[in-house]
Structure formats: structure tokens, C-alpha cells
Structure 1
Amino acid sequence: MGKGQLCLLFLVLFLILASLALMLTGIVTDYWYRVDASGSSNTTVKERFTYHFGMWRKCYTYSIPPEIPIDRRAGRCVYTYQDLFPRTMATFSASDERYLHLERSWIACLIAGAAIQVFAILTLICGLWPADCKSVKRSSLYLSASILCLFGAMCGITSGIIFIAMRDMDGTSRNIYPANTTHQYGWSFMLSWIGTGLCVIQGFFFLCLLKMDYNDINESGKYNTFM
């Protein structure tokens, strides 16, 4: 393996770790979306519609609505993951059920994208680790890692598109925001998109490594392995 190929391999490993860290940060933080009604003259509206939320919690700026059960509260935040698995769906309309499935898909796709990044790392470790793993052809490893990274990127893109569609539904067909309310995407949402973009770059880097490896094969006439 030449120095250029080795440097590119370490670069793509760094990108995988960075992408995984960004995705995990997006998963665990509560700043995907911000709603602000602080300009409203109605105190109730101001308290109920000034918050930010993520996959698992909604955090209010002023006070939590009194009807929220105590066991779902954590400071000024409310746990929302229980809403993903309602006890009964008998009272749900068809549109509410579709919205629930979209919310589940938003979360599941990003988690799947992060999990695929872990599998990509394990794939590389299997090829590089000088222990019990069998001798692996570099071309096969690069191709597998490229497919994993691109599939992870597809999951991240799907998650982001679903989230955007849900927010559009909130402001149009569902119309849940009162007048004089502003809403915008937060930094957790941005981090997830950056992590997804890195997934795409990783996939293309692995394809470049695959091309470089085939060039080595053409020159030497032998398949190259890591062992």
C-alpha cells in the first residue's frame, strides 16, 4: 500500500468517526427545532409555544403546561419518547396515525445511519486487525465500506427530509402554531445534516481507494490484502 493510499485511508477513518460523533450528537440533543411565541401578548400562548425539542424531549423556556404528568418532567423539559408508542390508537385519526409513523421514521432512519457508521468501522477493523480475522482483499473491503457509507447517507437524508416534511405539516395542514409565532431549525438538525454529508464523502473516498487498489492489481498482477 502506497503512502498516498494509506493517508487517504486514515483520512476516511477520521471522517467516519467525525460523522458518527455528529450524528450521535444530533440524536441525543434537544435543538432540532425552535418555536418562539415570546412576542405574543397572550401569556398562555407565550408559555405553551416557546420551546425547543429533539427526538426524545421538548424543553419549555417559561413553564411546562400543567396537564403534563409529573413522571414525564425533567426540569423544564418533557420526555416525548412515550408518544412514539401510544397505549391505544383507537382515538387516532388516519392523519394522526400517518404523522406518528413519520415521527417514528425520522428517528429510526437517523439511528440506522449512525449504526451503519459503526458497522463500517467494524468492517475496516476486521480488515486491518492482525488477529483472528482472515486475510481480506482490500478491494472487497473498500467496496463493502463504500456501500455501507452510502447507505448510511441515504438513511440520514431520508431522516432529514421526513423531519422537514413534518415541520411543514405542522405549519400548514395541522396548523398547530398560533399567530405571532416564529419557528426555525436548530443546531442539532444542522449537525445531523453535516454528519450525513460526511457519509457521502466517505463513500466516494472508498471508491477512490477501490480504484487505486485496482490500479495496483493491474501493475502487479496480484490481489492485495491487508495481512
Structure 2
Amino acid sequence: MVGRLCCFSIAGILCGLAVVSASLAAGTDYWYEILNKVPAQTNDNATVPTYKYPYHVGLWLTCYDQDIPDTIPNKELISGNCVLNYDFRSKQIEDFARTSAVCIVLSCGIMLASGVLGMSGCACRRSTPLLLSGIFLYASTLVMLIGMCCFIGRILLEGEPPNIPVAADVTTRYGWSFYLGWASVGLQLLSASMMVGGNRKCSGIKDQVNFI
């Protein structure tokens, strides 16, 4: 019993943290941010308009911090100043955006299935479900990695927003939701490696393959 806890408790904790990180990343809207260094000012004599639509992007929503572009009808706004990500500039950008969202949600599902297998293996003292749990975690890591890369591809393809004047006081950056996604990738990989690597080294686990 002690051997099992030593081998798999840390892997289970890492897996749990990975699920939480991925879920928070998928459910929040701070993957990418467009910011003003200084507040936008109106000047009748200005020849160059200032950028007045700072916003942050998530997997599902784009949320505006101040003013909303005139191209977005009020009826399309949900949850305050947020609008669903649907009006993409090209089919390629939309494919990247949809793929990133699907992959990250799918990765969460695979991690949950891996957790169930891992707990079943520890409870029944069988090595096969523990090994499958580690393999599932490797699969979820790969799926999550694909999702993260697709989001980066989406941002690179989108570039600057069209028809909106951009001034020199604008900054762009990846937000904390994006970094939570990468943290989940690392946690999943560590958990999978510990699960698979420690599978045959744990005392108290019967090396049987008839669990399923």
C-alpha cells in the first residue's frame, strides 16, 4: 500500500492540477490581449485616430474592455461586452480556431478518463489500468499540444484587426489563460511519465492483465 502511494500519489496530484489548469484555460477569455498603453483621447484636430477598442480573446469569446466597434450589433453581445468568435476573416483562421477549442476540450475529457483508470488500478491493485492511464495521459498531452499550436496559428494568421486604426501606443501579448494551457501540457507530460515509468516498480501491485 505504501509503495503504491509513493509511486502514484504524485502522478495523481499532477494529473489533477493538469485538469484544473486546462479547464480554467478553456473557460476563461485571456488567451490573447490587445491593450492600450495610454487611454484613448479624442482630438478634433488629430490626423491619426487612436486605437480605442482594447480587447481580450478566448477560445469561445472576444471581450471588449472599453468601446465596442460599430460593426458589432448589440444583439450579438453576450456576457457584457463579449461576442462569440464566429466572424473570422478567412476559413483557414476559423479552422485553426475551431481545432484549438475542440482539442483542448477533448484533452480534458481524456485526462478525466485517465484519472478514472488510475484510481481503478490503485484500488484493485492491477498494473494494466495504471499503464493505460499513463498512455491516455500521453495522448491527452499530444491533443493539448495540437490545440495550443493551433491557437498560436490562429493569432499569427489574424494579425491586426481589419478596419480599426491602430496607433503606436498599442501592445499585444498572450494572456494568463494561454500560459495555463501550456502549464497543463507540462503537468500532463510529467504525470504520464511517472505513471508509465513507475508502473512496474511499485510494490503491492499485482502484475496481472485481466483487469478489463
Q: TM-score, normalised by structure 2?
A: 0.81
Query: Match of 1:185, as an amino acid?
Result: Y
1:113 corresponds in structure 2 to 107
Is residue 18–residue 195 contact of structure 1 (8 Å, CA) maintained in 2? yes
| Shift of residue 169, structure 1, vs aligned partner | 2.1
**Per-residue CA shift, 1:52-96, capped at 9, x if unaligned?**
121122121211223323232246422214x18x9xxxxx8xxx1
Deviates more, 1:39-48 or 1:109-118: 39-48
**Per-residue CA shift, 1:131-178, capped at 9, x if unaligned?**
xxxx6x622112201110011111111111111122222238x89883
Secondary structure class of the residue paired with 1:47: coil
| Shift of residue 125, structure 1, vs aligned partner | 3.4
Flag the 1:208–1:61 CA change in 2: closer, same or farther, 3 A.
same
Query: Match of 1:191, as an amino acid?
Result: L
Residues 1:53 and 2:57 aligned together: yes
| Shift of residue 8, structure 1, vs aligned partner | 2.7
**Per-residue CA shift, 1:171-203, capped at 9, x if unaligned?**
38x898835232100000001110111000011
Flag the 1:175–1:126 CA change in 2: closer, same or farther, 3 A.
farther
Tell me, in whole angstroms, the C-alpha distance in 2 between the residues paired with 1:75 and 1:38.
Answer: 25
RMSD across aligned C-alpha pairs, in angstroms? 3.1
Residues 1:167 and 2:155 aligned together: yes
Identity score, percent: 23
2:8 corresponds in structure 1 to 9
Query: Match of 2:110, as an amino acid?
Result: I
1:32 corresponds in structure 2 to 31
Residues 1:212 and 2:212 aligned together: no
Flag the 1:47–1:175 CA change in 2: closer, same or farther, 3 A.
closer
1:132 corresponds in structure 2 to none
Unpaired runs of 5+ in structure 2?
A: 43-48
* Corresponding residue to 1:190 among 170, 179, 188: 179
Q: How do 1:148-163 residues align onto structure 2 when only pairs under 5 Å count?
A: 148-163=136-151
Residues 1:203 and 2:202 aligned together: no
Is residue 170–residue 176 contact of structure 1 (8 Å, CA) maintained in 2? no
Flag the 1:73–1:121 CA change in 2: closer, same or farther, 3 A.
same
| Shift of residue 119, structure 1, vs aligned partner | 0.6
Tell me, in whole angstroms, the C-alpha distance in 2 between the residues paired with 1:177 and 1:54.
Answer: 22
Tell me, in whole angstroms, the C-alpha distance in 2 between the residues paired with 1:122 and 1:72.
Answer: 40
2:46 corresponds in structure 1 to none
Tell me, in whole angstroms, the C-alpha distance in 2 between the residues paired with 1:144 and 1:45.
Answer: 55
Query: Match of 2:182, as an amino acid?
Result: W
Which one has the bigger helix percentage?
A: 1
Flag the 1:203–1:177 CA change in 2: closer, same or farther, 3 A.
farther
Query: Match of 1:194, as an amino acid?
Result: A
* Corresponding residue to 2:70 among 66, 72, 78: 66
Tell me, in whole angstroms, the C-alpha distance in 2 between the residues paired with 1:191 and 1:183.
Answer: 18
Tell me, in whole angstroms, the C-alpha distance in 1 between the residues paired with 2:102 and 2:144.
Answer: 10
1:97 corresponds in structure 2 to 91
Q: TM-score, normalised by structure 1?
A: 0.76
| Shift of residue 46, structure 1, vs aligned partner | 2.1
Secondary structure class of the residue paired with 1:30: coil
